[in-house]
Amino acid sequence: MKVKKVKKSTTKAEVKTDEVMGGEVVAEDTKKKSVKKVVVKKVRGKRFLNAKAKVIKGKKYPITEAILELKKMSFERFDASVELHINLLEVESVKGQVNLPHGTGKTVKVAVFGPEVEAKIKENIFDFDVLLAKTEDMKILVKYAKVLGPKGLMPSPKRGTLVANIEEAKAKFMSGNMNFSSEPKFPIVHQVVGKISFTPKQLEENVVTFLKAVQKKNIQDAFLTTSMTPSLRLNLENI
């Protein structure tokens, strides 16, 4: 009696869920090794659509007006972050340091380099926003540059994080001082500039301060939004 061998089908497309990004689902045919892109339409909630209907298409909002409109359309049931998104004119990196007059509404976690912090770095634990160190610490920190650098945590004089007076630097960063930089491969800067619960004046002062730090000559467009609302394009004539 002859036994027929049954071959397993290899034509079924496998969807890689970890490659779902930007509304696209990537499906790979395991036989032909071809990649098919399927565009998935993003569904917006009723509250978002109602908020979006209030945005005047093509309008550049003066900063004061944009903040007031943002407060009106905000529908989050929590104290949402107010975000500033900036499109730069050049691909070249733009970075600097700024002290927002009213902070971001978030408690900045400042760590001082020492044996305990080094142990965390070795374990890939980064439960801090700023890492301070003294010049003599650099001989140890150098070996962690490839880990700390991409995260913006490598202490340096330019960032104000490689200092002689640790306590003074710690107080400065906890009061709202921060470093900023554009995306590594894209001419974009994203920054939280406060909470929706801030007063309009507080938000305006934070926004203007940050835009001036980036410098108008580097900015193509700027948009203000909260964690979940549509964005408002800003008029930067008076910056």
- What does the alpha-carbon distance between residue 132 and residue 160 come to, in Å, rounded to a whole number? 8
CB neighbour list of residue 35: distance below 8 Å, 6 or more residues apart: 26, 27, 28, 29
- Identify the CA nearest to 142 among candidates 131, 150, 154, 152: 154
Residue 232: its pLDDT value, please?
Answer: 93
Number of H helices and E strands in the chain, helices first, is: 7, 12
Q: How far is CA 135 from CA 54, 117, 155, 160, in A?
A: 53, 16, 9, 12
Q: What is the DSSP string of 136-196?
A: GGHHHHGGGHHHHTTTT-S--TTTT-B-S-HHHHHHHHHTTEEEEE--SSSSEEEEEEEET
Please give the domain boundaries of the chain with CATH numbers for all domains: 10-42 (no CATH), 56-106+177-239 (3.30.190.20), 109-175 (3.40.50.790)
What does the pLDDT read at residue 40? 57
Quick one: 5 exposed, middle or buried, by C-beta within 10 A (0-12, 13-18, 19+)? exposed
User: Tell me, what's the pLDDT at 36?
Assistant: 62
How would you write 2-16 as a 3-class SS string? CCCCCCCCCCCEEEC
pTM of the model: 0.63
- The first and second tokens of residue 105, run together, are 């509404």
pLDDT score recorded for residue 131: 94
Give pLDDT tens digits along the chain (239 positions).
555 554 444 443 333 333 333 444 444 444 555 556 665 566 667 777 777 777 778 899 999 999 999 998 888 788 889 999 999 988 678 888 888 889 888 878 899 999 999 999 999 999 988 999 999 999 999 999 999 988 889 998 888 899 999 999 888 888 777 888 888 788 999 999 999 999 999 999 999 999 999 999 999 999 999 888 888 999 999 88
pLDDT at res. 217: 92
Rounded alpha-carbon distances, angstroms, from residue 134 to 34, 68, 96, 97, 184: 53, 44, 20, 19, 27
Tokens matching residue 84: 């500033």
